[in-house]
């Protein structure tokens, strides 16, 4: 007899519509996790003032989230196989809910940072799950459409979030933005108990007696990530010896991590990251794109609100309002491109997106004091159109060739590399910005309008343009994946 809440029982109950109900359920939770990652950026200036933080400490509100998200993504395949979809998903949503409430009530910056880390851990577990579901539950000719619909829904939350968040910061202070994830978390938990199966990927029962989590591999990944980020910060703010030691430590941790994963595979244990993934050329090239793209995307997500508020002296509510039209354009673009991804080469769609994203960053060099707000809106829209081409196409182009047994690993690995790039990108933007501010002889502080400050921001955006150019070279190697067997199981 089938287990209550298993995939077979739910499919029999809801029929062909079930896969869409399942996608909707995980979409709500992903919306909450993505909102928590982006919306806090609007409140960083107010939070910095409240806690009397310097730029370096303030950026750890974003970087701490990114580090936690990056590392926890590696645990998703193990959690899914051991506990199944529902227990993994609901557990992550409860942690995200606790982080949102805890951050909103915290009176000490250390507690705020701890809440952000908790939110990041939850987001990292949740975010690889939708790609696993799409590649298991949908036929190959439907996967682009499903990715487009999912992506359209997911981006609406962060599109609307900064606008509402900006108003909340102006009206009620920075604490209010932490509570925005609460209703989405509650809704996602309710949907999970109705539509998310208790079984593991492939429709098999979760194996609570399976291999233990590879804690040693997870520790090496965490040490490598922390050394990389602190090393990047030390390149500018610390001594050369400190930076060299940290970056050497990061390289050593990466080498040990790879060696340990190979040893785990040789011993017949389940590795944290299955290195067989990189034998697939499309996946290897997609991983390179994901890392560089993550660096540019998350770096700009941190940089743009700070530029508008401290460089152009706009209020938080103005910043949110300016980003709102671009968010809706992004949602529409994703829906359209998702359908194209079922018929057009994914490497072409990703390349177009990266070119548009690079152009939007490059044009920011010409944005100065007194610029029309419509110019800012237009540049934001251009960049979001680029994102709309990349988001539904990159995962499909990278993961369609994979063997079904590697899909969960592939989703978490490419997410890990994207977030690792993102965590580095936030630090990198902070480093380059402070470097260029120092070169122009100005400080990152509110006050009288200063063209030198906006020039420093423009030069930092130019760095992001170059990164997108590098990703474009790798994206062209994402040739169309060979045909795969139609999926029959979630």
Its pTM stands at: 0.82
- Between 63 and 346, the more confident residue is 346
User: If you average pLDDT over each of 40-49, 367-376, 443-452, 468-477, which comes out highest?
Assistant: 468-477
Query: Residue 188: what pLDDT?
Result: 94
Query: Residue 162: what pLDDT?
Result: 63
Query: Residue 433: what pLDDT?
Result: 86
Query: Residue 93: what pLDDT?
Result: 95
Contacts 24+ apart (CB under 8 A), 370-375: 371/312, 373/318, 373/322
CA distance 1 to 346: 42
Say how many Å lie between the first and final Cα of the chain, rounded: 19
Q: What is the DSSP string of 179-203?
A: GGHHHHHHHHHHHHHHHS-SSPTTS
Model pLDDT for residues 439-488, shown as the tens digit of each residue:
887 776 655 557 888 888 888 999 999 999 988 988 887 775 444 444 44
Q: Is residue 157 very low, low, confident or very high in pLDDT (cuts 50, 70, 90)?
A: low
CA-based nearest residue to 389, from 471, 282, 281, 266: 471
HSE on the CB side for 94, CA within 13 Å? 7
Query: Residue 484: what pLDDT?
Result: 44
Model pLDDT for residues 312-352, shown as the tens digit of each residue:
777 766 776 777 788 788 888 888 888 888 888 888 999 99
CA-based nearest residue to 48, from 103, 109, 107: 109
């Amino acid at each position: 007899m089938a287990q209550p809440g298993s995939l077979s029982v739910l499919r029999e109950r809801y029929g062909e519509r079930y896969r869409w109900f399942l996608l909707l359920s995980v979409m709500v939770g992903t919306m909450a996790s993505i909102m928590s990652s982006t919306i806090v950026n609007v409140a960083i200036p107010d939070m910095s003032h409240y806690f009397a933080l310097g730029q370096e400490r303030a950026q750890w509100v974003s970087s701490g989230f990114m580090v936690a998200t990056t590392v926890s993504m590696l645990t998703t395949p193990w959690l899914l196989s051991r506990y199944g979809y529902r227990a993994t998903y609901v557990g992550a949503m409860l942690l995200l809910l606790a982080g949102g409430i805890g951050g909103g009530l915290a009176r000490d910056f250390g507690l705020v940072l701890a809440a952000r880390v908790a939110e990041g851990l939850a987001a990292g577990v949740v975010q690889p799950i939708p790609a696993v579901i799409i590649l298991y539950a949908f036929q190959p000719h439907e996967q682009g459409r499903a990715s487009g619909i999912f992506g359209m829904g997911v981006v609406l939350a962060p599109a609307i979030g900064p606008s509402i968040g900006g108003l909340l910061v102006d009206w009620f202070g920075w604490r209010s933005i932490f509570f925005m994830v609460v209703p989405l978390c509650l809704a996602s938990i309710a949907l999970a108990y109705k539509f998310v199966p208790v079984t593991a990927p492939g429709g098999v029962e979760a194996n609570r007696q399976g291999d233990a989590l590879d804690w040693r591999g997870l520790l090496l990944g965490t040490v490598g990530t922390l050394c990389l980020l602190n090393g990047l910060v030390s390149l500018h703010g610390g001594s050369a010896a400190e930076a060299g030691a940290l970056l050497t430590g990061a390289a050593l941790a990466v080498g040990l991590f790879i060696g340990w994963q190979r040893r785990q595979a040789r011993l017949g244990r389940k590795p944290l990251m299955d290195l067989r993934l990189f034998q697939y050329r499309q996946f290897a090239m997609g991983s390179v794109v994901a890392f560089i793209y993550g660096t540019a995307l998350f770096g700009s997500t941190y940089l743009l609100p700070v530029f508008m508020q401290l460089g152009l002296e706009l209020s938080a509510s103005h910043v949110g309002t300016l980003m709102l039209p671009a968010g809706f354009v992004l949602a529409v673009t994703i829906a359209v491109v998702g359908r194209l991804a079922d018929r057009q080469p994914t490497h072409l769609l990703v390349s177009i997106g990266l070119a548009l994203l690079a152009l939007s960053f490059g044009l920011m060099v010409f944005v100065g004091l007194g610029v029309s707000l419509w110019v800012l809106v237009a540049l934001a829209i251009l960049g979001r159109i680029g994102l709309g081409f990349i988001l539904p196409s990159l995962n499909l182009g990278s993961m369609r060739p994979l063997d079904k047994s590697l899909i969960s690993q592939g989703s978490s690995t490419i997410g890990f590399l994207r977030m690792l790039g993102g965590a580095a990108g936030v630090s990198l933007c902070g480093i380059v910005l402070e470097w260029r501010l120092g070169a122009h002889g100005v400080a990152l502080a509110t006050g009288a309008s200063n063209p030198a400050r906006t020039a420093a921001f423009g030069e930092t955006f130019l760095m992001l343009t170059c990164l997108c150019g590098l990703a474009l070279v790798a994206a062209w190697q994402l040739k169309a994946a060979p045909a795969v067997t139609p999926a029959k199981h979630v």
